[in-house]
A = this chain, B = another copy of it.
Amino acid sequence: MLVAGIDIGSMSTKAVIFNGQRLFKTIAPTGWSPRQAAHQVYGRLLNQSGYTEEQIDYLIATGYGRVSIDFADRVVTEITCHARGAAYLLPGTDLVIDIGGQDSKVIRINDEGQVLDFAMNDKCAAGTGRFLQVIANALGVDVSDLAALSKGQTPIALNSMCTVFAESEVIGLLTQGKAKGEIIAGLHQSIARRIASMAQRMGASNRVTFTGGVAINEGVQASLEEQLGVPVQVPKDCQLAGAIGAALIARDFNSRA
């Protein structure tokens, strides 16, 4: 059985094909058109896997851009897909923290990867990848360098929770001659605090899995561990949780059909 999942996020589009043994995967920026991104990413994935569109038994789309694609067999909400994907990537997970480009979610799941409860933020840029992006830009560094730059640095606490006010605060700190690494360590602490308070509303857990684009940043991971007081695991394919979950749910649907 050949199944596929595609997760069209605000920042990046991810797709996977699963043949029962092997996982083929592609990631690319979403850009302005989610539909175009979905076509391109899926096309590239098919090429890479050697399969044709007709061979795929079932395709599920998820993520914020899922409604704009026209070639999926079904669309499924991202909470459901992320939960299922995280349970597959790290079996035993009972709490999923996902920080994406423009949203963040905390999902409590059971051993089958089913959603028991969740909290989501897509209204406020603070607590999402966007916060890191805006501040990295103000600091004149690339978002992919944040973890390395802050490693071992003492965080300077940021007073402002709001992205806009934090940006001004950071510019003020730079003017005062503060070290970028210390400011970035403070930045990681700030986002971790916000997410930890969301997570704490979901109850205690010590099998936390951290997914989404921001999970690549080890500084945020370490800050989350500090805030939550428990280990926070980041799976190898942390960005693919949604797409993998979609493919696994596609397999279920196809088996039932």
Contact = CB atoms under 8 A, between A and B. Distances in A.
Interface stretch (A89-97, A123-131, A142-150, A205-213): A123-131
Contact of A164 (B160, B161, B164, B175): B164
Nearest to A172: B32
A125 B166 CA distance: 10
Q: How many copies does the complex hold?
A: 2
A71 interface: no
Contacts of A161: 123
Interface in A28-60: 32
A164 B123 contact: no
Interface string A93-135: 0000000001000000000000000000001110000100010
A165 B124 CA distance: 8
A9 to B, nearest CB: 14
A125 to B, nearest CB: 4
B102 A134 contact: no
Nearest to A165: B125
Contact of A123 (B102, B134, B162, B172): B162
A199 B163 CA distance: 25
Contacts of A124: 124, 162
Interface string A1-38: 00000000000000000000000000000001000000
A157 to B, nearest CB: 16
Contact of A125 (B102, B130, B164, B172): B164
A134 B123 CA distance: 17
Nearest to A125: B164
**Which among A123, A165, A175 has the highest number of chain B CB atoms within 10 Å?**
A165
8 contacts: A32-B175, A123-B160, A123-B161, A123-B162, A124-B124, A124-B162, A130-B165, A164-B164
Given A32-B175, A102-B165, A125-B165, 14 more contacts: A32-B172, A123-B161, A123-B162, A123-B165, A124-B124, A124-B162, A125-B163, A125-B164, A130-B165, A134-B164, A162-B163, A163-B163, A163-B164, A164-B164
Query: Top 7 A-B pairs ranked by shortest CB distance?
Result: A125-B164, A163-B164, A125-B162, A124-B162, A130-B164, A125-B165, A123-B161
